[in-house]
Chains A and B, each alone.
Chain A
Amino acid sequence: MADYQTFEHDVLVIGSGGAGLRAAIEASATGVSVGLVCKCLLGKAHTVMAEGGIAAALANVDDRDNWKVHFADTMRGGQYVNNWRMAELHAREAPARVRELEAWGAVFDRTPDGRILQRNFGGHKYPRLAHVGDRTGLEMLRTLQDHGVHQGIDVHMECTILTLLKEGDRVVGAFGYEREKGTFRVYRAKAVVLATGGIGRAFKITSNSWDCTGDGHSLAYHAGAELIDMEFVQFHPTGMVWPPSVCGILVTEGVRGEGGVLRNSEGKRFMFGDIPENYRSQTADNEEEGWRYTQGDRDARRPPELLTRDHVARCIVREIKEGRGSPHGGVFLDISWIRKKLSNASEHIKRKLPSMYHQFKQLANIDITAEAMEVGPTTHYIMGGIRVDADTQMSRLPGLFAAGECAAGINGANRLGGNSLSDLLVFGKRAGEYAAQFSRENKTGVVNPGQIEETVSEALESFNRGSKGSAADGNPYEIQYELQRFMQDLVGIVRKETEMTEAIDRITELWIRSKSVAAHGNRQYNPAWHTALDLRSLLTVSEAITVSALNRKESRGGHYRDDYPQKDPALGKLNVVVWKGRDGTIQVRHEPLPEMPDELKGIIEEMK
């Protein structure tokens, strides 16, 4: 018999970023008992890294804004393969979720008349992002954390979930280990919410934290839920490129929102040369107008640097490939030029972008108030994820809910900056609410001891190999690095059939090698063991991404195919769905988008 400790909650939330905390708070507020499992320490989740702001049509800065404009912007940004209902709920409910944060103690930057200030961001028609300098994510996460800890939520820090426990189709709990001693834990729950965030660690160059290994995607997939839109990975246009050790760290879009411009090695603002047709009427055609927009001129149109992330990232790649890049393989992002426009530019930059100033000063010895930064695309976000019901956030497995980045639907083919933080709040709340409701309507399920035994023996295999010192002594770090390298090269910003087929072969090979990795020493806080266990998630999401990407034979949003560079209107009417077949292999199908009501179609037409 495996040795483990058992915990029981009405609702178990897995993941302690913005979505998980918001779900836990909501469920707990309804009176049910809530457990919150954090892979890291509480308050360290990747949400702290979000910089620019939370998108919500508060209309504090521009009174022309409302939920309809936000909805239309989100659908346009997502190239219309978004789940319309999620986009609608998100646009309608985001303002209330932001105001609620203020009531819980968040301190947003202010307008001159004392309201929450909003800033410009790519793809948003009006200044819409509530923010705190460039550390909005930290403000949001800390506010939720400090509010949540007073609500009697049971927090399980530094615990990793290895499998979801099932009774028939229903999810009745989760099984995992805590890091400090390496002991196993059973969490029994009437409802489970996955809020595990992203998958950035499947790629070499990423803005994502250590723990963004796609655990929720993988847990849901192996439990029998469906994943959709997995081909849509967002490569943020501006990550640091130098020095090598910090390559991938995010440079907020806020830099461009505050007037920063992109230039190539010839000093040219190359974004003016490539403005997509569907954004032309909204985009400035000269530098002066672009500058006026960033300074709040309501009659000016946005500069092309603030086009959607997928497009800006591809333009940067083109400049680099065609030999007009910066010395370390990026392009130049310059905010220092605004000193020609503002007398107090240096102070202004430090106040608006304090973490960017420090990040470059400390890590690259660059003073962004005086010189240009070097930037290039970095793996940032996955639009795809667990398929859920738009209103309740429940997956096709009863009792299993998902919210935030690990759930899919709202963002379509490309997410607009600022929409992730509002997504976390809106759908975190909904997941918590409906999970609590499910837990009141259902009894605690029965846990299958066989499933636990199996998971334990799989989890400890690497130690058995380590103690025997067998020839197949694989290094888990090496396998992880290898996966990251080829996913970056073969399934990155620009994709093609031959390379992705190669990626599939190499994933298959790594699946085999992952079964021979060895861990040495004991189970107490053993990172080699954790890395070995994370491989399953990383390989699962890598496979799902690659299979989905092979399947969408067109270019749309975050998914760009060199062999199919155009959009295909027929493919624009469907989602790619993957799931685990009975034989254990990945299955894929196309599915038509849900039909949008005429009222919403009308809104989209009106805003075009």
Chain B
Amino acid sequence: MKTATFRIWRGNSEGGLLRDYTTEVSEGMVVLDAVHQIQSKQAPDLACRWNCKAGKCGSCSAEINGAPRLMCMTRLNDLPLDKPVTIEPMKAFPLIRDLVTNVSWNYEVKKRIKKFKPRRPDVSDGTWRMLQPDIDRVQEFRKCIECFLCQDVCHVLRDHRKHDEFIGPRFFVHAAGLEMHPLDTEERSQELRTSFGIGYCNITKCCTNVCPEEIKITDNAIIPLKERVVDDAYDPIRKLIRRFTNGD
């Protein structure tokens, strides 16, 4: 049977190294299958976080040959197997062990974003009316599986470690999903400009490129939010008009 070698990061926050494991590969296998095979036969304590193995939960994020990807959706036949496949943990977050990182910062960030606040119901039975074309954009944002690969690749977090001043692409998408929700009446543009640090993003689109859900993070979420933030800060009349018409 065909084999391939996987060069996997082993270690914790105190240090570690890349170690080679050779295992059999079969048709249709994904990287996560190889990791499981190595776990069950060669390295039982190899730490890796996973859940659905179907690209829907966003747990098994890692860097495969240097690229941030979901292990469960990366097929081996899309990778060159004549040399070792490198698998490393995400670098924008503190390492727990092996391929598992501490992503708790993301959960803290989300708590800081004001929650959905709907307008009064449109109908006396407590329901609203929204048309499909008005929610298409928001539904795109709500496809996010919170794999945090966009956070991992973003140089503001990865290289400049601005975790205290910048919420990252995932949460601009989250904020955009709230801000562009036809029913939402909350106001978030001031903190987007200040404590959420949207100005740090210089639209290199790295996040868009790694999104497994193919959300156009930069074009559809971040740039419109930047425009909105600028309008609200420097053009209060437009802000008023927008609030009045209750949409984008």
* A interface residues, Cβ below 8 angstroms from B: 40-46, 48-49, 99, 102-105, 107, 109-110, 113-116, 132-133, 135, 138-139, 142, 146-147, 149-150, 155, 157, 180, 209-211, 242-246, 249-250, 355, 358-359, 362-364, 475-478, 481, 519-522, 524-529
Contacts and interface: CB of A to CB of B under 8 A. Distances in A.
Given A180-B102, A527-B48, 18 more contacts: A40-B59, A44-B52, A49-B52, A99-B127, A107-B181, A146-B110, A149-B107, A209-B51, A209-B53, A209-B57, A245-B28, A246-B28, A246-B54, A358-B55, A475-B40, A521-B45, A525-B47, A525-B98
A113 B143 CA distance: 24
11 contacts: A40-B49, A40-B51, A103-B121, A105-B178, A107-B139, A149-B107, A245-B26, A245-B29, A477-B39, A481-B40, A527-B44
Contacts of A362: 55, 73, 75
Contacts of B193: none
B89 to A, nearest CB: 11
A116 B30 CA distance: 37
Contacts of B110: 146, 149
B214 to A, nearest CB: 8
Nearest to B117: A105
Interface string B39-74: 110001111111111111111000000000000010
B26 A527 contact: no
B58 A44 contact: yes
Interface stretch (B128-136, B224-232, B237-245): B128-136
Contacts of A99: 126-127
Nearest to A151: B115
A439 B62 CA distance: 42
B59 A364 contact: no
A142 B142 contact: yes
B146 interface: yes
B51 A363 contact: no
Nearest to B182: A107
A362 B31 CA distance: 13
A477 B54 contact: no
B75 to A, nearest CB: 7
Contacts of B206: none
Contacts of A481: 40
B21 interface: no
Contacts of A364: 28
A528 B115 contact: no
B131 A114 contact: yes
B97 A48 contact: no
Given A48-B145, A210-B51, A244 B45 contact: no
Nearest to A477: B40
A131 B131 CA distance: 15
B29 A243 contact: yes
A43 B103 CA distance: 13
Contacts of B121: 103
A243 B55 contact: no
Interface in B94-141: 96-98, 100, 102-104, 107, 110-111, 115-116, 118, 121, 126-132, 135, 138-139
A475 B44 contact: yes
Contacts of A155: 107
A102 B123 CA distance: 14
A107 B135 contact: yes
A49 B73 CA distance: 15
Q: Which of B33, B40, B50, B100 has the most CB of A within 10 A?
A: B40
A44 B44 contact: no
A519 B116 contact: no
B82 interface: no
A167 to B, nearest CB: 33
B185 interface: no
Interface string B10-23: 00100000000000
Contacts of A210: 50-53
A139 B181 CA distance: 14
B52 to A, nearest CB: 5
Given A146-B115, A524-B96, A363 B59 contact: no
Contacts of A147: 115-116
A435 to B, nearest CB: 24
Contacts of A146: 110, 115-116
Contacts of A41: 49, 59, 103
Given A242-B28, A243-B27, A527 B52 contact: no
Given A132-B139, A138-B145, A180-B102, A525 B97 contact: yes
A536 B175 CA distance: 43
Q: What 5 A-B pairs are tightest by C-beta distance, nearest first?
A: A243-B28, A114-B129, A105-B116, A528-B44, A477-B40
Nearest to A146: B115
B44 A477 contact: yes
Contact of B33 (A42, A139, A245, A249): A245
Given A48-B52, A114-B129, A180-B96, A528 B45 contact: yes
A109 B27 contact: no
A249 B58 contact: no
Nearest to B129: A114
B43 to A, nearest CB: 9
Contact of A359 (B30, B39, B54, B178): B54
A317 B200 CA distance: 57
B57 A44 contact: yes
B146 A527 contact: no
Contact of B45 (A49, A102, A519): A519
B30 A363 contact: yes
Given A477-B44, A519-B45, A524-B96, A113 B54 contact: no
